[in-house]
Structure formats: structure tokens, C-alpha cells
């Protein structure tokens, strides 16, 4: 019954490979489509200091932005490949540097000591907020 | 086979226990819906040892009961759609007689995830769900493949045992 059917072993191996290949290809195709859609060209980085919007930057252009605020506070913001992160800061806890990079609508990096908020804002509606199973 | 219903009961009990054991294993990735799916071992065994009818019964019973025992009503809907589609696909592949057990199980795992995604799509009504498709396809392939490989090792022994039991 197992491997002793009418079809030979090698033919089965061939079938197996074809089927797995198709599924992997399908997964790759979906991933590619999804990946291309996820690059939000319209999205901007909004920088809030003391709760007020001070600057806006286009995500599609890579650049480093030094952000200085009250009492000579300093954060270095890096925009790279549509993602934003903080690469240098002189705040005491340095938590803003440890936060993961942001790229999607609504994501944010917050530096509490400097009252600095970096937030992504997309012009169009993004992907799902949440999915529960 | 007189003992069919007995084996079906045993396999259902095994599926439920495996479902329970799985809830004990802390296994969570960022993507919802990815599970080891150990209880599908029982479905694969059922498909190969008994028949399609029993496997489908087992799938439905497993989905409903494990949902009631360890989950919630919404979970039943998800696992039911996944289990039914998975069982159908595995039966077709098995009937075609052109694939090895691990691959049949792997594609069954993929079908399980597709079934769940379809229900999720109907419920959430967003194309954003497409984001999960590649991960769920690959996860289903991997987990199903592992289950199938285990099955391929175990099935000959079970087959042997069952044929002895029949002659009693």
C-alpha cells in the first residue's frame, strides 16, 4: 500500500516534487504581490515635539534627520528603505533606539524623556489593524 | 471491517488528546493561525487505515469537540472549514495514488490553512488578509510534512496490527 501501488516510486517522487514546487511558488507569488503593495509611497513620517507636529518627511527618500529640542536634547532619526528608526540619542534611557523600526501607518517610536514622537502617517488606508482567530 | 467504529472512536480520542497537548505547548509566532496541528496525525491515519467517510467524520468531530473543549465557537468555525477542506484534498490525493504520505499530509496542511483563510476572509471582508497567505501556505506545508513523515513511519505498523485484529 505504501509505495507499492500501481505507480512506481520514482513517478511518485516526481509528483511529490511538482506539487510541493507549485505550493512554494504560490506562496512566493502571494508574498511578492503583498510585498509590492505594502510599500506605501504615500506615507510620511511625522515628528511631534511636546505634542505638536513640527516636521514631516517623505518615507520614500532615505535620509538622516537630526532632531534637536529643548535643553539641547538630541535624537538622530534615520529613514531608510521606507522604514524609520532612531540611530542615536542622548536621552537617559535610550529606549527610542531600542524600539523596532517603523514603516506602516500608525506605527510610532516614542522618546519619552525628550517628549518626541515619530509616527508614520499614510494618506490611504493601510492593511488590517488586527486579526483574531 | 467490524471494528471500524471502535478504531474511529480511538482515533477521535487520540485527536482530542493531541489537540489538548498542543494547547500546552507554548508555540506562537507573530502570525495568527499557525499551529503544529498534531491532531491531524489522527486524520491522516484514519484516512489510510479506514476510509474517506471515517476520516471526514473524524475531522468534523475533532473540530467541533476540540473547539468546545479548548477553544471558542468562532474557533470551531475556523477549524471546521479547515478540517473539511483538508480532508477532501487529502482524500483526492490519496485516491490518485500518485503521492507519498508526507506530501499528502503536507498538502492537507496547506488546504487546512486555506480553508481557515477563506472563513477569515468572509468574516473580515478585507483583502489585507492576503498578507498572511504566503506564511500560512508554507507553515501548512512544513507542519503537514512533519506530520506526514511521522505518519509514513507509523502507518505500516498500524496497518499490520489492524490486519491482525481483523482476523480475530
Contacts of A1 in chain B (CB under 8 A): 48, 159
The DSSP secondary structure of chain A, one letter per residue, reads --S-SSS-HHHHHHHHHHHHHHHHHHHHHHHHHHHHHH--TT-EEEEEETTEEEEEEETTS-EEEEEE-GGG-EEEEEEETTEEEEEEE--SS-HHHHSPPB-STT-EEEETTTTEEEEEE-SS--S-S----
Q: What is the pLDDT of residues A83-123, one digit of tens each?
A: 888 998 888 888 888 888 888 877 888 888 888 888 888 76
Among the partner-chain residues A19, A23, A33, the one whose CB lies closest to the CB of B99 is A19
- Per-residue pLDDT for A77 more than 70? yes
pLDDT band at B156 (very low <50, low <70, confident <90, very high): very high
Whether residues B141 and A133 touch (CB distance < 8 A) is answered with no
Whether residues B116 and A133 touch (CB distance < 8 A) is answered with yes
| pLDDT at position B5 | 87
Q: What is the ipTM of this complex?
A: 0.78
Whether residues A128 and B131 touch (CB distance < 8 A) is answered with yes
| pLDDT at position A3 | 46
Task: Name the more confident of B126 and B59.
Answer: B59
CA atoms of B65 and B73, how far apart (whole Å): 10
pLDDT band at B28 (very low <50, low <70, confident <90, very high): low
Pure H helices in chain B? 4-24, 40-49, 52-70, 73-96, 101-124, 133-167
Q: How does the average pLDDT of chain A come out, rounded?
A: 80
| pLDDT at position A117 | 87
Chain B residue with minimum CA distance to A24: B138
Whether residues B32 and A132 touch (CB distance < 8 A) is answered with yes
Domain boundaries, chain A: 1-38, 44-121
pLDDT band at B168 (very low <50, low <70, confident <90, very high): very low
Q: Is any Cβ of chain B less than 8 angstroms from the Cβ of A133?
A: yes
How are strands ordered across the β-sheet holding A74-80? Answer: A63-68, A74-80, A83-89
| pLDDT at position A1 | 47
| pLDDT at position A132 | 58
Q: Is any Cβ of chain A less than 8 angstroms from the Cβ of B76?
A: no
pLDDT band at B164 (very low <50, low <70, confident <90, very high): confident
| pLDDT at position B27 | 67
Contacts of B102 in chain A (CB under 8 A): 16
| Count of CB atoms situated within 10 Å of the CB of A45 | 24
Contacts of A66 (CB under 8 A, 6+ apart): A74, A75, A76, A77
Q: What is the pLDDT of residues B31-81, one digit of tens each?
A: 666 778 888 999 999 999 999 999 999 999 999 999 898 888 888 888 899
Contacts of B95 in chain A (CB under 8 A): none
- Per-residue pLDDT for A75 more than 70? yes
CATH code for A44-121?
Answer: 2.60.320.10
Q: What is the pLDDT of residues A4-50, one digit of tens each?
A: 556 788 888 998 999 999 999 999 998 888 777 666 557 888 898 88
Nearest residue to B108 (alpha-carbon basis) of B142, B131, B75: B142
Among the partner-chain residues B97, B124, B130, the one whose CB lies closest to the CB of A30 is B130
Task: Name the more confident of B166 and B140.
Answer: B140
| pLDDT at position A41 | 57
Q: Is any Cβ of chain B less than 8 angstroms from the Cβ of A128?
A: yes
What part of B 4-63 touches A (C-beta under 8 Å)?
32-33, 48
Q: Give the best residue of B90, B137, B138 to mutate against chain A (max A CB count within 10 A).
A: B137
Count Cβ neighbours within 10 Å for each residue of A49-59 and write b for 16 or more, e otherwise: beeeeeeebeb
Whether residues B98 and A15 touch (CB distance < 8 A) is answered with yes
pLDDT band at A131 (very low <50, low <70, confident <90, very high): low
Q: What is the pLDDT of residues B61-73, one digit of tens each?
A: 999 999 898 888 8
Contacts of A20 in chain B (CB under 8 A): 103, 106, 141
Q: Is any Cβ of chain A less than 8 angstroms from the Cβ of B130?
A: yes
Domain boundaries, chain B: 4-167
- The class (CATH top level) of B4-167 is mainly alpha
Strand-pairing partners, residue A75, are A67, A89
- Per-residue pLDDT for B105 more than 60? yes
- In Å, how far is B145's CA from the nearest CA of chain A? 10
Amino acid at each position: 500500500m505504501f509505495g507499492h501501488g500501481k505507480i512506481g516510486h520514482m513517478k511518485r517522487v516526481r509528483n511529490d516534487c511538482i506539487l510541493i514546487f507549485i505550493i512554494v511558488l504560490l506562496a512566493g507569488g502571494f508574498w511578492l504581490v503583498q510585498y509590492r503593495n505594502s510599500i506605501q509611497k504615500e506615507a510620511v513620517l511625522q515628528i511631534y515635539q511636546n505634542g505638536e507636529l513640527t516636521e514631516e518627511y517623505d518615507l520614500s527618500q532615505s535620509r538622516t534627520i537630526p532632531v534637536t529640542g529643548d535643553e539641547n536634547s538630541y535624537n538622530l532619526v534615520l529613514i531608510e528603505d521606507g522604514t524609520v528608526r532612531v540611530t542615536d540619542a542622548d536621552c537617559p534611557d535610550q529606549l527610542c533606539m531600542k524600539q523596532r523600526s517603523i514603516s506602516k501607518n500608525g506605527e510610532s517610536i516614542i522618546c519619552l524623556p525628550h517628549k518626541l514622537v515619530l509616527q508614520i502617517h499614510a494618506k490611504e488606508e493601510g492593511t488590517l489593524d488586527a486579526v483574531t482567530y | 471491517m467490524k471494528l471500524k467504529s471502535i478504531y474511529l472512536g480511538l482515533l477521535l480520542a487520540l485527536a482530542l488528546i493531541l489537540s489538548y497537548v498542543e494547547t500546552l505547548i507554548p508555540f506562537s509566532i507573530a502570525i495568527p493561525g499557525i499551529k503544529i496541528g498534531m491532531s491531524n496525525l489522527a486524520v491522516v491515519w484514519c484516512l489510510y487505515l479506514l476510509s474517506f467517510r471515517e476520516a471526514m467524520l473524524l475531522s468534523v468531530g475533532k473540530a467541533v469537540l476540540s473547539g468546545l473543549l479548548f477553544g471558542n465557537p468562532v474557533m470551531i468555525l475556523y477549524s471546521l472549514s479547515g478540517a473539511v477542506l483538508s480532508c477532501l484534498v487529502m482524500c483526492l490525493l490519496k485516491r490518485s495514488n500518485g503521492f507519498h504520505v508526507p506530501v499528502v499530509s503536507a498538502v492537507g496542511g496547506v488546504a487546512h490553512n486555506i480553508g481557515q483563510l477563506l472563513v477569515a476572509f468572509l468574516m473580515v471582508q478585507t483583502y489585507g488578509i492576503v498578507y498572511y497567505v504566503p506564511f500560512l501556505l508554507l507553515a501548512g506545508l512544513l507542519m503537514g510534512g512533519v506530520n506526514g513523515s511521522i505518519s509514513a513511519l507509523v502507518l505500516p505498523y498500524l496497518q499490520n496490527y489492524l490486519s491482525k485484529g481483523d482476523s480475530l
